[in-house]
């Protein structure tokens, strides 16, 4: 297995992505190689300085950087030597089995949607996030911002996609799937939630357990939380805001630490033909390491193949 | 001024509403009377037992209770001796200037919408909540659940309504009004947020400061947060969930205490022709007291008159 990593992406590139990659290699199985996309000399000089000689590492020279302020679509197509553009070419050619970056989210989405494309039958891909629970486990929430205006059938598909993720990546046998809503009763909600409930209630595609409300988000009530990208994005960021507020006020413990968005180091794009992970721009080396280990887990679980079979 | 209070509403009626009312009377100005709607003998026996003889208290006998499980509209019209139904008759007849209850939210909404009705020109009333900020002040958020499917012009009106609340009840001179969205740039959002932004951006009706994101909710970035009732309800309940989680984990301080939904003791229904406050079913005596003091503040600010002038 070959995992592609963008070394030029993120606020602290190239050193932090390199440091995170080296850390990840200590945890990855011996038969997993990493392919680094970035400025070759810079990477080599970093590795030589650290006296790192690992034959699992190879480098693809891609010195350009798509900056955060650039228009993603035009930067992606014009900067043909950028780490992200080159990374996607290698992903499409199957030289690597997955690609991760803490760089421009917009450019990553251009690559995901226009180079790798949706799995046949998937109306709209989504992005997701893991939500920690006090019972030590995680729920997955989708969508968290890719698709702010969803139709009910799109939410239905998100339930299939996120349920497969929970099953094969998180290892939950029959993941409970819930719709995020403003009441527990079936008739509650906005037009979208009501229609989605109707579609989901008798589903054989996943284990639907009904509506959950805002106070249930961090509880052991469900394994999968489905909502549109507008709601998902706002609550995810509200959680991040809460985390920083608590940190600032020194109100933290082991569980609160897990809400730290940086420790997951990556959001998988789900419903596309390859494994793609988008990291936080402010990723630390630990976040980069976790992003790479997460990517390995998703590839190892053969999630993309499982999703192709499901549609 | 006469304030109407439902003594039969809430999980701990009638004792807790009575206890909260007595507490409130200690803080209310001497020229403010309270009219208690409930079982007359029960109320009198409670007051006699506590040896309370206050000529600011009067009682309207209304012994029936609209229970939480009842269909609000039919219970409201059939239980003509219920504290809520009788309370609304007195409110409509101007025997009282405001009415508050910790009982059936649905029945309170029936009264607000069908007996008291919207202010002329207001397309849809809303309900709101106060959000504490670390700077010691509060932001107001609307809508928090009355209207889960909003049109852009409805959000625009919520901005007017909540801005007046912030100005006259919270005492903020030129309240900053923000749209809750998934990015700070004008072009961000779902279809509703984009259209609402276009309507709000050049408004002379309020001081629009642009979009805020989920992590800004508990910050000093705005005084008024506008969103549809679906989003508002979910984030409000997520905040409540966070509060109970922190309490359970003993991670609390003065500020976190303020997130406790019970201490506000009431959500005003805004955009209707009278002052109506809906309390939490689980209200404690302190919550009831705060609900009554809040009601007094809204009446004293002449918010309803200010809103009538604005539309």
For B255, the closest chain A residue by CA position comes to A249
CA distance, residue B212 to nearest chain A CA (Å): 10
Q: Chain A neighbours among B 228-247 (CB < 8 Å)?
A: 228-231, 233-242, 244-246
What are the chain A neighbours of B134 within 8 Å (beta carbons)? 245, 249
Calculate mean pLDDT across residues A178-188. Answer: 93
Give the contacts of A141 (CB within 8 A, at least 6 positions apart). Answer: A128, A129, A130, A131, A162, A180, A217, A224, A225, A226, A227, A232, A235, A236
The whole-number pLDDT of residue A192 equals 97
Of A42-46, A212-216, A230-234, B132-136, which range is least confident?
B132-136
Q: For A120-136, what is each residue's pLDDT tens digit?
A: 999 999 999 999 998 98
Closest CA to A109 of A288, A298, A281, A272: A272
For B215, the closest chain A residue by CA position comes to A241
- B178 reaches A (C-beta below 8 A): no
Q: For B229-272, what is each residue's pLDDT tens digit?
A: 999 999 999 999 999 999 999 999 988 888 887 777 688 999 99
Q: Name the percent of chain A lying above pLDDT 70.
A: 99
Q: Name the percent of chain B lying above pLDDT 90.
A: 89
DSSP string, B263-288: GT--EEEESBSSEEEE--TT--HHHH
What are the chain B neighbours of A245 within 8 Å (beta carbons)? 134, 218
Q: Among A216, A230, A249, whose Cβ lies nearest the Cβ of B253?
A: A249
The whole-number pLDDT of residue A165 equals 97
Q: Among A219, A240, A256, whose Cβ lies nearest the Cβ of B215?
A: A240
- Cβ atoms of A223 and A170 within 8 Å: the answer is yes
Q: Name the percent of chain B lying above pLDDT 70.
A: 99
End-to-end CA distance of chain B: 25
CA distance, residue A214 to nearest chain B CA (Å): 4
């Amino acid at each position: 297995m070959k995992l592609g990593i963008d070394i030029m992406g993120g606020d602290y590139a190239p050193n932090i992505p390199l440091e995170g990659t080296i850390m990840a290699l200590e945890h990855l199985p011996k038969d997993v190689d990493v392919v680094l996309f970035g400025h070759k000399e810079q990477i080599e000089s970093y590795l030589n300085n650290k006296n790192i000689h690992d034959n699992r590492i190879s480098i693809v020279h891609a010195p350009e950087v798509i900056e955060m302020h650039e228009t993603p679509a035009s930067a992606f197509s014009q900067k043909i030597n950028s780490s992200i553009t080159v990374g996607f070419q290698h992903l499409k050619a199957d030289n690597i089995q997955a690609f991760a970056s803490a760089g421009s989210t917009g450019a990553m989405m251009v690559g995901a949607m226009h180079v790798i494309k949706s799995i046949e039958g998937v109306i709209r891909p989504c992005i997701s996030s893991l939500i920690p629970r006090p019972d030590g486990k995680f729920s997955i929430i989708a969508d968290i911002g890719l698709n702010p205006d969803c139709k009910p059938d799109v939410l239905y598909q998100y339930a299939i996609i996120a349920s497969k993720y929970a099953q094969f990546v998180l290892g939950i046998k029959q993941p409970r799937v819930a719709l995020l809503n403003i009441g527990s009763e079936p008739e509650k909600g906005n037009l979208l939630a009501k229609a989605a409930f109707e579609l989901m209630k008798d589903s054989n595609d996943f284990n639907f357990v009904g509506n959950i409300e805002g106070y249930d988000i961090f509880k052991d009530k469900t394994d999968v939380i489905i909502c549109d990208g507008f709601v998902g994005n706002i609550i995810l960021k509200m959680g991040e805001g809460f985390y920083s507020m608590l940190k600032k006020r020194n109100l933290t413990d082991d569980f609160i630490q897990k809400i730290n968005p940086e420790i997951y180091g990556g959001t998988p794009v789900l419903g596309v033909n390859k494994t793609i992970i988008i990291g936080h721009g402010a990723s630390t080396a630990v976040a980069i390491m976790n992003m790479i280990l997460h990517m390995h887990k998703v590839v190892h679980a053969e999630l993309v193949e499982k999703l192709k079979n499901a549609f």
